[in-house]
Chains A and B, each alone.
Chain A
Amino acid sequence: DSGVTQTPKHLITATGQRVTLRCSPRSGDLSVYWYQQSLDQGLQFLIQYYNGEERAKGNILERFSAQQFPDLHSELNLSSLELGDSALYFCASSVGRDDNSPLHFGNGTRLTVT
């Protein structure tokens, strides 16, 4: 058990809809990261937050947004969903901001867009 909690585990929705994925980091970790993994794209880094502030951006679409709250949990919002957004979405956390502290991943949310 990594200590990172993601909810829900599964989500099925229709194209054009909006969903929110939630992540609770490990106790003591200040950084939260979001990744998307689909069969043809591998594991893609989306965005990092550190202590409530956006720290780094990867391949995140404009239809997607995220935030980290004062209690350090994070939410990833996906809107105007398309079939191609179907994927596993992972959250990870780490202690530091810009260091080499290992990432600890949750078990993911499987999003299916129909």
Chain B
Amino acid sequence: LAKTTQPISMDSYEGQEVNITCSHNNIATNDYITWYQQFPSQGPRFIIQGYKTKVTNEVASLFIPADRKSSTLSLPRVSLSDTAVYYCLVGRMNYGGSQGNLIFGKGTKLSVKP
């Protein structure tokens, strides 16, 4: 089970780019990296997923170095509405194996200020 480590909290200001890094030193060959966003009293929402290098969608970018032992979620030009908890999950649940992609840690609480 690939354990992930993220900062507990981060502060930013509107219009800035925010980078949240997740460490996963024992990531396995078949593991993917998935990020979710959660607002208070709502279910988590899928943001982005990647395996290596860089993935970009309309919401965020995900940077994964060659050794895959960490990943960085990049949110461009954040707004107040990006204030939320962000979770990094790593894993692929093979038969009888890891449930890493189902395990949410404490996440990173991002606070965006005006």
Contact = CB atoms under 8 A, between A and B. Distances in A.
**Is the A/B pair a real complex?**
yes
A45 B102 contact: yes
B41 interface: yes
Q: Please report whether the interface of chain A is mostly helix, strand, loop or mixed according to DSSP.
A: strand
A2 B102 contact: no
Nearest to A98: B93
Interface in B61-110: 87, 92-95, 99, 101-107
B102 A33 contact: yes
Contacts of B46: 102-104
Contacts of A35: 104
B43 A58 contact: no
B101 A90 contact: no
Query: Size range of the interface on A?
Result: 20 to 34
Given A42-B104, A100-B49, A58 B44 contact: no
A98 B106 contact: no
A33 B87 CA distance: 17
Interface string A89-114: 01010000011101111111010000
Q: Could you say which of B32, B102, B106 has the most chain A C-beta atoms within 10 Å of its C-beta?
A: B102
| Closest 3 pairs (CB-CB, A-B) | A105-B43, A102-B46, A43-B104
Interface of B: 32, 34, 36, 38, 41-46, 49, 87, 92-95, 99, 101-107
Given A88-B41, A98-B93, 5 more contacts: A33-B102, A42-B106, A56-B99, A98-B94, A108-B42
